[in-house]
Structure 1
Amino acid sequence: MLKLIQSKLEDPNEPFLGPNLKSLHFWGIILPNNAFKRKIYMCMHASLLLFASIVYVDIWFIRSDFDLLLKSIKYNLLTTINCVKIVTFVAWQGEWLDVIKYVSNADKKSRAKNNEVQNGIIQSYTRYCRVVTYSYWFLTCCTVLTVVLQPIAKYCFSPAYRESVRNGSELFDQVLSHKAPFNYDHVPEYIIALTYTTWATVYAGGLINSFDTISICIMVFFKGELQLLENSCTMLFEGGDKGSVFRNVRECQNRHAELVKYASVFNGCLSPIMFLYVLVTSFGLCASVYQITIETSTMQRLLTAEYAIFGVAQLLFYCWHGHDVIHASHSPMRGVFESGWWKHNHCRKEILLLTGQLDQRVYFTAGPFFNLTLGSFVNILKGAYSYYTLITQKQ
């Protein structure tokens, strides 16, 4: 069954980004060319934006209940991130499609070369991206199910809450707390509100899957492309004659310039979202830890812990792969020094120019404040712990 599903997700025309592109098209992040389908997806996106607005209205009405307010803000911020993803991807769709097109074409060119070492690198990062993509999808599905089934789980495993609902002293929980334009204390209105919040949660999960996995896979590709460029630089003098060396140098220069160009475009699209990610993850983590400490139900603690793990994993994926790209950006220049350049006196000037160009660092940022590295991730966790300490002392 799993192999059948995997075969359906693969695309022979897109050997690297096949599953990710299908996910982007399925959830409407890449808008279709058909005008009718485009309008449907735009209405779905607008509906999610509307949902994000009504959940913030509810914050005003529950501001006196600190625990409920903390829970509501934690989930609402995640919804806000998804709305920002939709708006920025649609607004900057040209830049995103240019980066995706570059990644796809560069990958196909590398696969067309009959080089055993480079083929091994390509297969390695392709297999790694599949593992990351499917693992991330599984983690997101578990989180969405956790959020959707949380009211049912609370009703089933909390006798006191179940009795309160039966005698009318407490209302049945919503999937996400929000202020609907009608009174959902009655059954018909409640069913409508429950259906709407469930759809919004599932749809937001699909957007998280699509956006995050395509972004992470692009970051993995940049690391792999730098490794391939290193291998090409080690073979600069394989042709032997001066003309072959000049062609190899020119190819490496153009390849690196194109990589730096599209890495900059990609960072421009991703950096504002990552800055919001840092804020949301920091608040969500400290809020989840605080809820775990005050929650009396074991099931509720497990559900909250799963949500916290998902939030931390999201940011860790970005910081981990951003750190890998920065480390790999040193590789191409090292490849030049491993090429045996000292044996050839006729092109030392060109080699010197090439090493100067390859000295540029490729990195990704979270706003204008810091780079996406493992050190930054540790600092974010320290900041989240400081917020948690502040909340507990305030309480």
Structure 2
Amino acid sequence: MSIAPPAPVHGATPVARRALAPDLARGLMLLLIALAHAHMYLSGHEAGFRGYALDGGPLDRLVAGTQILLVDGRALPMFAALFGYGLVQLANRQLATGGSWPQVRKVLRRRSLWLLAFGFCHALLLFFGDILGAYGLVGLVLAGFVRREDKVVLRAAVVGLVLHVVVLLGFGLLTVSAPKGDTPAAMADPVQATVMRLIGWATMTPTYFAAGVVLAFLFGIWAARRRLLEDPASHRDLLSRVAVLGTGLAVAGAVPLTLIDTSVWTPSDMVAVPAYALHSVTGIAGGLAYAAVIGLATGRMRRDRPGPVVRALAACGQWSLTCYLLQSVIFVAVFAPYAGGLGTRVGDAAASGIAVVTWLATVVLAALLAPGGRRGPAEAALRRLTYSRR
């Protein structure tokens, strides 16, 4: 019996038809990404687990404590969950237009492979702490879970949780009070810095994959099947519980490391390393809680008439890949010893101030250029590479 070939798989969703909540979440979380990354370009100080200077002034310690409590380790799982959520949306759209599952899986893996390549280039040129490679890697390995049953996804999430804890405990032992001067950001020779960035990326990508991405990615798949962010009004009770419980767990789990990394408390390594792991594990709950809060907020908005601030933030979310890469361009220009050189002259508080200004600049840029359906340069390139035909 002959079977007609499936309909061709169509391209990405037009910008005007995108759901508001995921884009708004991405736009807001880019602020947390900027805050979490800016201080990683500083050097010359003894640093704690999260890279903040242990000898900073009162304002530096206040900023570091606030970010460890509310920012660090929360934005990465948030984006990982949104990545899983987006892959389900992409797969559903392709299947609805007549594509077969093998075709769709090929599209998902091609997109993930190119995202991994983007991450490599990002590390090669700009930042050793790239997170794109981790997302690309998880997409390549776990794309099949988009079609697996819920019980299989949840079992895999349990395995991911165990792997998360084990890897973080090992990683924590290797990074106890690592000096900032050892990072590629401190190297004045751009060639040496490039080599060290690639070495760091090759190490950090599988670490992020094992410790920070898998669990949240699988939760994102589970949430997308229920359209939690596309139809938040129908899931208000669930989102409210996630928001309250997740925030509580994240804050409580971050308190020990906050005290340690601000030099308020100096326990033994046998206590400090588990505190580091606890901070990261509960950060997954925090990332999911932030997404739930944004979903609840968008559920109260008029989808057809969002205000100018919401439109600007959503535009930044639509340009999230471009804006993320622009952050690194600006940070290198400002902080790197072979560029602006501020990395050895400012503290954590000043770095966070620069991060906020950088994020605001990308929001304004996206708001000015995104209307009319224009995609960001990085998004357009990824789309062409994903949907191109031989």
Q: TM-score, normalised by structure 2?
A: 0.26
State the TM-score, normalized to the length of structure 1. 0.26
If each structure's helix is expressed as a fraction of its own residues, which one has the higher value?
1
Structure showing greater relative contact order (alpha-carbon pairs closer than 8 Å, 6 or more residues apart):
2
